[in-house]
Structure 1
């Protein structure tokens, strides 16, 4: 298999996994994007330029996560390796539970698809399987690839079916208006997972299953049920020691009637608010205008007017997912 394109542009959304009870299964794509230009070049080696999030901090050589994913994808489909020049315009905060690493992996996989120039290569389940293999879990990779709300699982081949990672898209009600409340400090996924117990009480698991089912209904058809539907007993409480401020904010917002959860492995807090018709001011140069929500006053009240480095990002649900297109130099 040969490379048919020399220059591609990839756009990948931020994601929020878990959403409370949907641990390692549910994820939501959000309207904040990393955009990358990837060029195949004749000279050997790699040059990576990073603008925005991670600039001066992430590797600028073969160790860069997008490069590693891209090379793994080319190997997977039997395409030749090549010299690479990447320009990464990063807007997804790093180490905040908004899927930055999954976005990098998905970007690499889609860049390889674009360079190969065959839409049937690394499509659908194949792209998800490889992204999950590289990332470790499908809960962020699935919404980054597919957009919207996704449910991901691993099929075990029972009954003669095909084993592997699967995902489906689920509907999201138009009234759902996510708010990401992003702290100044970061937290590694490894640290957040390190405090989780190997076992949980059966009663908690049963309770959680009911909330996960309710969350699908609340997000799709009954946003009025979101507060009850976002309850959790499997992971957030155990993580209080490594993100006390985030869990204190979750508690404060939920006490005020807001369906607040830890986004992914944290420490960002995601409020699954309900939107109105009014247009709010820009949350920043890197995010679109957002709707006023029923959580705005509660967030302001919880902080008491002192944000101390926290940012509130109004992020609509991203329905498109990751995209790649060839460019002509």
Structure 2
């Protein structure tokens, strides 16, 4: 069988941090972007975008999926032996809101890197770690990228120095009783902006508190969801970022006051509620937010070739 000329990539959204797990915890969600990539014999780059981002994102070499494809081909050495197409045509059907804290940029990076490997005739299972390095490298951290790649609840970490593998992640099965609800804010938030609000140093007592809650979150998400309220507490980043999304922070407070474990999703301003029945309690003011009941995606990125 020859190298595929067409590939359809379906990649899930993700919620990162989940309270205390800054840059280390992520959750894949059943909200998907689909990217259909066709190899061209010409050197054209054609991009069509439907849904989220249509009319706003570049439709040329600057498109994030295209950039991820180029990065993957360069990283794997595929460009050196002429096994990649001269040009590509992309059709993106996007459901993941942009700049809302649901991992849209990580999903695009995953879609591009995976498509590039398939079109170069590479085995995705064999390229699993390489794909994580490419996509997490583009993001600067691995939580969202790992969740979109592998699905489930991910624990991600980074090694320093001259190690061959910088980013690492493991995927764990989420307890079946957890029913996420994304409360998608109408406004946008940029990771670069919200990171700028974080201090370089935090009090030792806050670091210890957040470390304990991160460890507890691994247990809560996988085995004992009754612990989620305590496990989603944070003193490392959400309080410092509150000025960037005060309405979202107020919503987190309101949900938690009603007994619903909740946290800012990634860099915000979306809020993630971890419910038992997929609904938010009556009486919670959701003005300015869209309620989106979801499930946990336990598969990660899916590929079809043609």
2:216 aligned to 214, 223, 235, which one? 214
- Matching of residue 231 in structure 1 with residue 213 in structure 2: no
Distance 1:190 1:107 in 2: 22
Taking a change above 3 Å as real, the CA distance of residues 121 and 252 of structure 1, as seen in their structure-2 partners, is: closer
Distance 2:4 2:65 in 1: 18
Give, in angstroms, the shift of residue 157 of structure 1.
7.0
Distance 2:172 2:213 in 1: 16
Write the deviation string for residues 100-138 of structure 1: whole angstroms up to 9, x where unpaired: 000000001000111022215762211101111111110
Aligned to 1:302: 284
Superposition pairs of residues 105-144 of structure 1, within 5 angstroms: 105-119=109-123, 123-144=127-148
Distance 1:205 1:117 in 2: 45
Distance 2:57 2:247 in 1: 26
Aligned to 2:292: 313
2:88 is paired with a residue whose SS is strand
2:247 aligned to 245, 248, 270, which one? 245
Aligned to 1:262: 264
Gaps of 5+ in 2: none
Q: In the alignment, is the contact (CA less than 8 A) between 2:114 and 2:124 conserved in 1?
A: no
TM-score by length of 2: 0.94
Aligned to 1:96: 100
Q: In the alignment, is the contact (CA less than 8 A) between 1:157 and 1:163 conserved in 2?
A: no
Superposition pairs of residues 1-329 of structure 1, within 5 angstroms: 4-80=3-79, 81=84, 82-119=86-123, 123-156=127-160, 163-275=165-277, 292-293=278-279, 296-297=280-281, 300-303=282-285, 307-327=286-306
Q: In the alignment, is the contact (CA less than 8 A) between 2:15 and 2:101 conserved in 1?
A: yes
2:61 is paired with a residue whose SS is coil
Give, in angstroms, the shift of residue 325 of structure 1.
2.1
Give, in angstroms, the shift of residue 310 of structure 1.
1.6
Taking a change above 3 Å as real, the CA distance of residues 163 and 6 of structure 1, as seen in their structure-2 partners, is: closer
Give, in angstroms, the shift of residue 87 of structure 1.
0.2
Give, in angstroms, the shift of residue 315 of structure 1.
0.9
2:256 is paired with a residue whose SS is helix
Distance 1:163 1:17 in 2: 21
Taking a change above 3 Å as real, the CA distance of residues 264 and 122 of structure 1, as seen in their structure-2 partners, is: farther
Distance 1:165 1:118 in 2: 21
The structure 1 segments of at least 4 consecutive aligned residues displaced by more than 4 Å after TM superposition are none
Q: In the alignment, is the contact (CA less than 8 A) between 1:156 and 1:162 conserved in 2?
A: no
1:40 is paired with a residue whose SS is strand
Give, in angstroms, the shift of residue 163 of structure 1.
4.5
| Two-structure CA RMSD over aligned residues (Å) | 1.6
Give, in angstroms, the shift of residue 155 of structure 1.
2.7
Distance 2:228 2:38 in 1: 44
Q: Once structures 1 and 2 are overlaid, which stretch shifts more, 164-173 or 201-210?
A: 164-173
1:58 is paired with a residue whose SS is coil
Distance 2:128 2:271 in 1: 30
Q: In the alignment, is the contact (CA less than 8 A) between 2:72 and 2:113 conserved in 1?
A: yes
Aligned residue-pair number: 300
Q: In the alignment, is the contact (CA less than 8 A) between 2:154 and 2:171 conserved in 1?
A: yes
Give, in angstroms, the shift of residue 171 of structure 1.
2.5
Distance 1:231 1:122 in 2: 37
